[in-house]
Chains A and B, each alone.
Chain A
Amino acid sequence: MRKNKDYHLTEPTWCKGCGIYSIFAALKKAAVALNQDPEQFVIVTGIGCHGRLNNYFRSYGFHALHGRALPVASGVKLSNPSLSVLGISGDGDAYSIGLGHFIHSLRRNINITYLVVDNRIYALTQGQTSPTSEPGFVSVSTPYGSKELSLNGPKLALASGGSFIARGFSGNPTQLSTLIEKGMKHRGFALIEVLSPCVTHNKVNTYQWFKKNTYNLDNDSDYNARDKMKAWKKLSKEKKIPLGLIYVEKRQTYEDVVFQKEAEPIVFNDLRVDVPRLEKIMEKFK
Chain B
Amino acid sequence: MQKKGKMITDISVMIAGMAGDGVLFTGNVLAKIMKRQGWEISTYRDFPSNIRGEPTNYTIRASLEKIYGRADDIDVFIAFDCDSIFKHSERMAERGILLCDGEDFVWPSPSKSKARTYHKFPLRKLAIGNFGKEIFKNMIALGALCYILDLNFYVLERIISEAFLKRKGKEVVRKNIQAIHLGCDQAKEIVAPEGRYSLKRREDYDRLFLSGDEAIAFGALAAGCRFFAAYPICPASEIWQWLAVYLPQFNGLVVQTEDELAALNMVLGASYTGARAMTSTSGPGGSLMMEGFGLAGMAEIPIVIVNVQRAGPSTGMPTKTEQSDLNQWVYGSHGDFPRIVLSPGTVEECFEFIIRAFNLAEKYQCPVILLTEQDYGQGLRSAKKFDLSKVEIERGKLLNQEELIKIKDFKRYEFTPEGVSPRALPGMKNGLHMVESNEHDERGYRDENPENRIRMMQKRMKKLKSASKDLIAPKIWGKRDAEIGIIGFGSTFGPIQEAIVQLEKKGIRAKYLQMRTLWPFPSKKVEEFIAKSKKTFIVENNFSGQLSLLLKSQVRTPFDARNILNYSSQAFRPSEISTQIQRAL
Contacts and interface: CB of A to CB of B under 8 A. Distances in A.
Interface of A: 38-40, 42, 44, 47, 52, 54-55, 58-65, 67-68, 70-80, 82-83, 100-101, 103-104, 258-260, 263-264, 266-267, 269, 271-273, 275, 278-279, 281-282, 285-286
Interface centre among B251, B277, B425, B431 (most CB of A within 10 A): B251
B291 A55 contact: no
Interface in B438-477: 438, 444-446
Interface in B207-239: 207-210, 214, 218, 221-222, 224, 226-227, 229
A272 B226 CA distance: 12
B232 to A, nearest CB: 14
A71 B429 contact: no
B360 interface: no
Interface centre among A62, A76, A273, A281 (most CB of B within 10 A): A62
* Interface residues of B, dominant DSSP: mixed
A86 B426 CA distance: 13
B266 A74 contact: yes
Nearest to B255: A78
A258 B253 contact: yes
A101 B255 CA distance: 13
A89 to B, nearest CB: 13
Given A39-B427, A74-B266, 19 more contacts: A55-B434, A60-B427, A60-B431, A63-B437, A64-B265, A68-B265, A68-B291, A71-B269, A76-B270, A79-B253, A80-B274, A100-B258, A266-B253, A267-B274, A267-B275, A267-B425, A281-B218, A282-B208, A286-B208
B426 A83 contact: yes
Given A39-B432, A65-B292, A80 B273 contact: yes
A83 B427 contact: yes
A42 B426 contact: yes
B435 interface: yes
A266 B224 CA distance: 11
Contact of A60 (B224, B386, B426): B426
Given A60-B426, A64-B265, A266-B252, A76 B273 contact: yes
Contacts of B527: none
A278 B295 contact: no
B214 to A, nearest CB: 7
Contacts of B295: 64-65
B389 interface: yes
A39 B424 CA distance: 11
28 contacts: A38-B432, A42-B273, A59-B432, A60-B433, A62-B435, A63-B434, A63-B435, A65-B265, A65-B291, A65-B295, A68-B261, A71-B257, A71-B263, A71-B266, A71-B269, A72-B266, A74-B266, A75-B271, A76-B426, A78-B255, A79-B253, A82-B427, A267-B427, A269-B252, A273-B391, A278-B222, A282-B388, A285-B208
Contacts of A275: 388-389
B257 to A, nearest CB: 7
Contacts, number: 182
B268 A75 contact: yes
Contacts of A52: 446
A101 B428 contact: no
Given A269-B252, A271-B393, A281-B218, A75 B261 contact: no
Interface of B: 207-210, 214, 218, 221-222, 224, 226-227, 229, 246, 248, 250-253, 255, 257-259, 261-263, 265-277, 291-292, 295, 385-386, 388-389, 391, 393, 425-429, 431-438, 444-446
A61 B434 contact: yes
B393 A273 contact: yes
Contacts of B437: 47, 63-65
A60 B229 CA distance: 23
B483 to A, nearest CB: 41
Interface centre among A63, A71, A73, A78 (most CB of B within 10 A): A71
A119 B415 CA distance: 39
Contacts of A286: 207-209
B261 A285 contact: no
A71 B386 contact: no
Contacts of A71: 257, 261-263, 265-266, 268-269
A44 B269 contact: yes
A12 B258 CA distance: 35
Contacts of A68: 261-262, 265, 291-292
A206 to B, nearest CB: 29
A200 to B, nearest CB: 20
A271 B224 contact: yes
Contacts of B248: 258
Interface centre among B229, B257, B428 (most CB of A within 10 A): B257
A269 B227 CA distance: 11
Contacts of B265: 64-65, 68, 71-72, 75
B468 to A, nearest CB: 26
Given A80-B274, A285-B214, A58 B432 contact: yes
Contacts of A74: 255, 262, 266, 269
Contacts of A259: 251, 253
Contact of A72 (B255, B269, B388): B269
A273 B267 CA distance: 22
**List of 5 A-B pairs having minimum Cβ-Cβ separation, nearest first:** A75-B269, A271-B224, A71-B265, A267-B274, A75-B266
